[in-house]
Chains A and B, each alone.
Chain A
Amino acid sequence: MNSNIKPNLTDQVLLEKVVEAANTGIVITDNLLPDNPIIYCNPAFERLSGYSREEIIGHNCRFLQNQDRKQESRKTVREAIARGESCMVEFRNYNKSGELFYNELYLSAVKDDKGCVTNFIGIQNDITDRRKAEQALQLYYNETDRKVVERTRMLKENEEYLSSIVETIRESLLVMDKDYHILSANSHFLNTFKVSISETKGKMLYELGNGQWDIPELRKMMLEILPTNNPVLDYEVEHEFPHIGKKLMLLNAHRIELEGQFKDRILLAIEDITERKAIEQRKDDFLSIASHELKTPLTTVLGYVQMMQRLMPETVSDKFRSVVDKTGVYVDRLNQLLAELLDVSRIQTGNLELHMESFDFDKMVIDTIDGLKAATPGYNIILKGKVEAVFNGDEMHLVQVLTNLISNAIKYSPESHEVEVYVSKVSNFVKVSVKDKGMGIKEGELKKIFERFYRVGEIQKRYPGMGIGLYICDQIVKNHGGTLWAESKIGEGSVFSFTLPIKDYTGEASNG
């Protein structure tokens, strides 16, 4: 015994004090009395159960279970008591106010000298908090489990969703590793190129279908993907496939990487544009044939108009003369439109041929302006500056560009009566600017005006036209290696400028 313990206290009393002071509920039952009643409980048990000592003594321990009798632990306890053995169980007990608490019971049998069980000592612990934590944990586990199942299902659905897109898409898709071995190919690829998945998967791209994909341009393109990390966009490749014939393909390739899973994979998307190009070609052919066919009757009409003008007697009325002249003007106009349409179709088919010859650039500008001055008497076309250089280019087409820009400047500035043309030599370029004080062009429209058949929204209603003039100008300037651009402010006017490199006869840009 501890030396602090006062000597007048017997061991018996001391033990009683310990039990009284314990923070754990302790009960003692008398196994020799009927129904094994509680004969002792400590204050901790009173606190635990909410009942006072008076209410506890004499009861069998089962009173704590209220109506909740179907508990597995009861059987364990019954058997332990019957055998006179100790046991440890958990009960769902209810305190005086009816609240559930989890009670951990350690039951220990007390035997007399003959080995007969006289008493049971029950050590009781409220483990409600622990159980609640456990239950919360279990709930959490269950919830997590459910979520995992749900997520897995969603992932699977997503995967199915994505794979259904990949399989349905009207574009051939291939995924390759860094050595161009095919990891997967979608149905469209297999159908288009008439191959099976087994002869595709795992094979190297260039070995597919007896090497039909061993295309030099494709090899070159693929080499650029992994090291640079730049996607290859809209790369046009034409190739004759042994069984399916000539195909025009648009290739897009990206490097794909999924953190922690894989890197250096290549996604190759192959769009078969053979059909589309053929349709475009037919449209261009149609444009070309239609405008060409239209020229024949136009030639006849123009011939007769010229005959009328020539045959017209001096005595004819001014009105009649004016009618004939106007007919001529509009036939010319129609001819001009047809010429533009033909130009468009020629540009589309890449047949815009430039006939490069040396000419005096300043003279070309002056002549063009003089011609326009005669056609638009009310307007003042002011020419400033000069190039003072012999220029090597297609004079006819450059006249067309300048005429178009000045005509536009006049057409779209009805309030103003002045157009300025600046000509200069900048470094080894000729620069021409046409400035008007017209209505101006919105910023969003500035780039689009050079597109084929594009017409600025409001303009469409007030000013007739096909929207091909600037497109042709742009193409002609580009074909000379030059640049055409526009600057504009709404309500203040626009400046259209182009630069053309001054080239020597070998076609190289000179540095002079």
Chain B
Amino acid sequence: MICDDDNGILEMMEMIIEEFGFDVFTEANSVNVLKRLESEKPDLLLLDIWMPVLSGDQVLKTIKAEPKFSSLPVIMYSASAEGHIIAEKSGASDYIAKPFDMNDLEAKIIALL
């Protein structure tokens, strides 16, 4: 599952990850993440950090607080240099900087599944 407030990114990433051979669904509103995790039961979450209302690290906090999902692999990403620090602090499984290198992204996903 991918969560990003930018629809352009969501669409592009959906295509790429499908190309990697995975099933994908997307969520543009970070407030809905927990609900979607519940209904879709994904194996991995790709989570943008800079999102309005509820930022990526806040979303991750609620996920970690939920025993059902606390061990779900989460790859955070952002365009800012501080992104990997936030990811580390929030307890994300991995981090990737925007713009992505497709091969890097594929390797990181495979490593976590």
Q: Which A residues lie at the B interface, using CB under 8 A?
A: 292, 295-300, 302-304, 306-307, 310-311, 331, 335, 342-343, 346, 351, 353
Contacts and interface: CB of A to CB of B under 8 A. Distances in A.
Contacts of A353: 81-82, 85
Contacts of A335: 99
Interface of chain A: mostly helix, strand, loop or mixed: helix
Contact of B100 (A299, A310, A331, A351): A299
Interface residues of B, number: 20
11 contacts: A292-B50, A292-B80, A296-B6, A296-B8, A296-B9, A299-B98, A306-B102, A307-B16, A310-B102, A342-B81, A351-B82
Interface in B57-113: 79-82, 85, 98-102
B76 to A, nearest CB: 14
Q: Of A295, A300, A307, which is in contact with the most chain B CB atoms at under 10 Å from its CB? A: A300
B12 interface: yes
B13 interface: yes
A75 to B, nearest CB: 107
Nearest to A342: B81
Closest 4 CB pairs of A and B: A295-B79, A299-B99, A303-B12, A306-B102
Contacts of B6: 296, 300
A260 to B, nearest CB: 61
B15 interface: yes
B81 A346 contact: yes
B9 A300 contact: yes
Contacts of B38: none
Given A353-B81, A353-B85, A303 B100 contact: yes
A296 B85 contact: no
Contact of B8 (A292, A300, A306, A346): A300
Contact of A303 (B50, B79, B85, B99): B99
A298 B19 CA distance: 20
Contacts of A307: 12, 15-16, 19, 102
A295 B99 contact: yes
A8 to B, nearest CB: 134
B81 A303 contact: no
